[in-house]
Homo-oligomer: A and B are copies of this chain.
Amino acid sequence: MHALPKVITAAVVEDDRGSREALVAALSAVDGFHCSGAFASGEEAVVQLPELLPDVVLMDIQLPGWNGIETIQRLKEKMPGSDFIMLTVLDDEESVFRSLCAGASGYLLKHASVMEILEAIRVVHEGGAAITPDIARLVVRSFQPQSTPGLSHRESEVLGRLCEGENYRSIAEALFISTNTVKAHIKGIYGKLHVNTRAGAVKRALRDRLV
Contacts and interface: CB of A to CB of B under 8 A. Distances in A.
Interface of A: 97, 100-105, 123-124, 126-134, 136-137, 139-141, 143-145, 162-167, 195-200, 202-203, 206-207, 209
Contacts of A104: 140
Contacts of A164: 199-200, 203
A144 B102 CA distance: 7
A23 to B, nearest CB: 21
Given A128-B132, A167-B197, A140 B202 contact: no
Contact of A97 (B100, B102, B105, B143): B143
Contacts of A133: 123-124, 126, 128-130
Contact of A206 (B145, B162, B206): B206
Contact of A165 (B129, B137, B141, B199): B199
A101 B165 CA distance: 22
B100 A144 contact: yes
